[in-house]
Amino acid sequence: MWRHFRKACLWCASVHQTVPEKRLPTAAPPSHQLPWLSWHPGLVGLVTFLLVVVPLLIAVWNMHSQADRILKATIQEQLLSSARVLAQSVDPDVHATLKKAEQEKSPQYEALVRRMEQARSTIDTVRMIKFSYTCVLDGDDVRFVVDTTPEGDADHDGTEDKAHLMELYEHPSPTLRHVLLNGVAMVDQKPYSDRWGTFMSAFAPIIDARRQVVGATGVDVSLEDFELQRSGLRHVATLSAFGVIFLAYLAGHGMAGYHSRLKSSVQSLMKANEAAMTAERVKNDFLGAMSHELRTPLNAVLGMSEMLAQTKLDASQQEMITTVQRSGESLLGTLTSILEFTQLDGGRSQVKAEETHLDTLLQEVQKPHEAALREKGLTVVHQIEENCPPFFTAQTALIRQVLSHLVSNAIKFTDTGGIEIRVKATRHDTGGGRLHFEVRDTGIGIAGHHVTRLFEPLFQADGGTTRRHGGTGMGLALCKRLCDAMKAHIWAESKPGQGSSFHVDVPVEVFRTIVVSASPLAFVWTHDSTARMLATRVIEKNGSVVHAVNSLGELKNHAQLTEAAFLVIDAHEASAETVAELRGLAKAARLIVIHGQTEPNSHPAADVIVPAPVKPADLRKALEL
């Protein structure tokens, strides 16, 4: 059997390849696919490189800038401390007496030089200070007093290194002049140049006992030495930048390779998904086509056998035709289950929510099975809890289908006793809630280890039981798919020999309870005298007081319109907009449109549409919903 089924699938696949593209569309790429997945791997690598290298280089630059500022401030603070120490080593009274060049060889001058050299050697352990000296302000000129630099040209720059006593300082630092005038120690913020070179310097005032500024000490660091101290940081920053670039290159190269592999994998998955979807469509189309093709002649067989059963037949012929009818109906049910299963499996079954009366739903579920119930002598009992509202809005068609399958299953496996359908409601503050259906039978029951697999397609707990009672294993699987489609829950409880209970818990959008007064009001608006008389009689028998109106204005101006329980409107008199307007005026009324089209969008504001010709049974049903 499966060999023939496989050949048929292969044949259908070959047919699909020869039909136009519109019959078997190619699977479109997923809408959620990442846009960068279509990029070239090199572009992905470049973007990754930039995303890594730019923020890291900015971070390296910020760290270098902060470290450089800290180092510069530290060097300047060291220079300022050195200048202050030198200023404290100078005797201000002796310094004030050195005013002539001839005093450069005096013992006082040499003593000051020695004391300054001792202080300098103490504070300048790394030999960073190039010059240390003192100066005084002579009018507007700045002149050297003590210079600890030895005589000669030690640095071979063509200029004598030592400054002599009272020698004019031709290009002094502005900071030095400020210290001499204000008596506050300061350090240069920018390098300055004189005949000895370019320096960063610090200056401290020499103050006598009378708190007078008698001079200032200065310490110079050459710009080359100053920059040499900062160059270490630049080297570290440069090496860090190269390291960042190398890491970013590795990240970009790795991401490009990963993207290439990912792109290849995604393309393979898309092809595999497309092939799977094609195979799924082939399977569904095959099963659907076979179901339709088999149902057509089978309906003819059942029709002809029913007509044949009504002719004169002897007992054996009647038994044979009855067997044909039962077998045909069983096969028709199986084909219907297969067709419904494939429609759900392919996502082609969409059902809108509709309002339904709970009693009516249960009667509709039971009605198709009355013949089977009579044949086996079984009874069906409905037990509805008192808190269940009579009306609810949900996917009633799917609920009806699930309950019908469960009742059919219960009848199939129950030989004595009966079937009970229990209903209870759980209401939420939003107006909706959930309905819990329980279908309980007194049948043969199911072993516990089989209960969890009942809802698998084609699963049958016992082959011997199946041969006796029939079934294909599709019904409960279909119920599971239907429950999944409406976001409901289904489960089973059973014990061998004690029957089974199947539970279905379905979501409900709205519960509605109608409180009708002793004599509810009803309005009938139609110019069709026959329809008016028919509607009036049916509504009056329902216990309502009827008011017949002849125009829209008469209806709208009626004082009791807002109290109406029923509005019966002729579609020939009122458009969809007029019906919607009346719905706003009589919000509590059940609005019934007669002679209307059965499409849901013809009168969306109506509760019930009764098509022509209007029948009393249809009106009674509309009033009871």
Q: What is the CATH number of the domain that holds 221?
A: 3.30.450.20
pLDDT tens-digit series, residues 350-387? 667 888 888 888 888 888 888 888 888 888 888 888 88
Q: How far is CA 523 from the centre of its chain?
A: 51
Mean pLDDT score across all residues of the chain: 81
Domain housing 388: 354-512
The pLDDT of residue 617 is: 78
In-domain check, residue 202: yes
Mean pLDDT to the nearest integer, 230-243: 86
The two structure tokens encoding residue 488:
């409901």
The pLDDT of residue 349 is: 54
Q: What percent of the chain has pLDDT over 90?
A: 14
As a whole number of angstroms, the distance between CA 595 and CA 597 comes to 7
The pLDDT of residue 320 is: 86
pLDDT greater at residue 55 or residue 453:
55
Same domain, 417 and 464: yes
Q: For residue 412, which phi and psi values (nearest 5 degrees)?
A: -60, -40
Q: What is the CATH number of the domain that holds 578?
A: 3.40.50.2300
The 10 Å Cβ neighbour count of residue 480 is 20
As a whole number of angstroms, the distance between CA 426 and CA 423 comes to 10
Pick the last residue of a domain from 229, 256, 288: 229
The pLDDT of residue 467 is: 45
Q: What is the DSSP letter of 417?
A: S
The 10 Å Cβ neighbour count of residue 234 is 12
The pLDDT of residue 505 is: 94
Same domain, 586 and 488: no
pLDDT greater at residue 335 or residue 196:
196
The pLDDT of residue 22 is: 36
The pLDDT of residue 374 is: 85
Mean pLDDT to the nearest integer, 522-534: 85
Same domain, 492 and 360: yes
pLDDT tens-digit series, residues 438-465? 999 988 888 766 777 777 766 555 545 4
Same domain, 79 and 140: yes
Alpha-carbon Rg for the chain, nearest whole angstrom, is 52
Judged by DSSP in three states, 518 sits in coil
In-domain check, residue 19: no
As a whole number of angstroms, the distance between CA 608 and CA 597 comes to 11
The two structure tokens encoding residue 332:
């028709």
As a whole number of angstroms, the distance between CA 477 and CA 177 comes to 100
Judged by DSSP in three states, 135 sits in strand
In-domain check, residue 419: yes
As a whole number of angstroms, the distance between CA 498 and CA 446 comes to 9
Query: Residue 159: CB partners within 8 Å, gap ≥ 6?
Result: 153, 195, 196
Same domain, 527 and 506: no
Q: What is the DSSP letter of 357?
A: E
Q: What percent of the chain has pLDDT over 70?
A: 84
In-domain check, residue 214: yes
**Sequence-separated contacts (24+) of 93-100 with Cβ below 8 Å:** 93/208, 93/209, 95/134, 95/145, 95/146, 95/206, 95/214, 95/215, 96/208, 96/214, 96/215, 98/145, 98/146, 98/165, 98/166, 99/166, 100/165, 100/166
The pLDDT of residue 515 is: 54
Handedness of CA 278, 281, 286, 289 (dihedral sign): negative
Judged by DSSP in three states, 145 sits in strand
Q: What is the CATH number of the domain that holds 462?
A: 3.30.565.10
Alpha helices in 100-150 (DSSP H): 107-123
Cβ pair 83, 190 in contact under 8 A: no
Same domain, 360 and 502: yes
**DSSP strand E in 400-544: where?**
418-427, 433-441, 489-494, 500-508, 510-512, 521-525
Judged by DSSP in three states, 96 sits in helix
Pick the last residue of a domain from 199, 229, 259: 229
In-domain check, residue 165: yes
As a whole number of angstroms, the distance between CA 355 and CA 372 comes to 29
Same domain, 425 and 537: no
In-domain check, residue 18: no
Q: Map tokens 């039978």 to a residue.
A: 441
Same domain, 412 and 469: yes
As a whole number of angstroms, the distance between CA 534 and CA 612 comes to 13
The pLDDT of residue 351 is: 65
pLDDT tens-digit series, residues 95-154? 888 888 888 888 888 888 899 888 888 888 778 888 899 999 988 899 999 998 888 766
Query: Residue 337: CB partners within 8 Å, gap ≥ 6?
Result: 472, 474, 475, 478
How many domains does one find in the chain?
3
Pick the last residue of a domain from 229, 255, 283: 229
Same domain, 358 and 495: yes
As a whole number of angstroms, the distance between CA 489 and CA 468 comes to 30
In-domain check, residue 131: yes
Cis, bond preceding 613 (omega within 30 deg of 0): yes
As a whole number of angstroms, the distance between CA 511 and CA 390 comes to 8
> Is it the case that residue 538 has pLDDT exceeding 80?
yes
Which of 12-26, 186-200, 224-238 is least confident? Answer: 12-26
Cβ pair 578, 604 in contact under 8 A: no
Same domain, 531 and 485: no
Handedness of CA 406, 410, 412, 418 (dihedral sign): negative
The 10 Å Cβ neighbour count of residue 150 is 9
Same domain, 500 and 528: no
As a whole number of angstroms, the distance between CA 197 and CA 188 comes to 15
Mean pLDDT to the nearest integer, 11-27: 38
Alpha helices in 346-395 (DSSP H): 358-366, 370-376
Q: Pick from 510, 514, 506: which is nearest to 429 by CA?
A: 510
The pLDDT of residue 363 is: 83
The 10 Å Cβ neighbour count of residue 313 is 14
Indicate the pTM of the whole model. Answer: 0.41
Same domain, 209 and 92: yes
pLDDT tens-digit series, residues 300-352? 787 788 888 888 888 888 888 888 877 777 677 667 666 666 666 655 556 67
Q: Which of 52-61, 386-395, 524-533 has the highest mean pLDDT?
A: 52-61
In-domain check, residue 6: no
Mean pLDDT to the nearest integer, 205-214: 90
Q: What is the DSSP letter of 220?
A: E
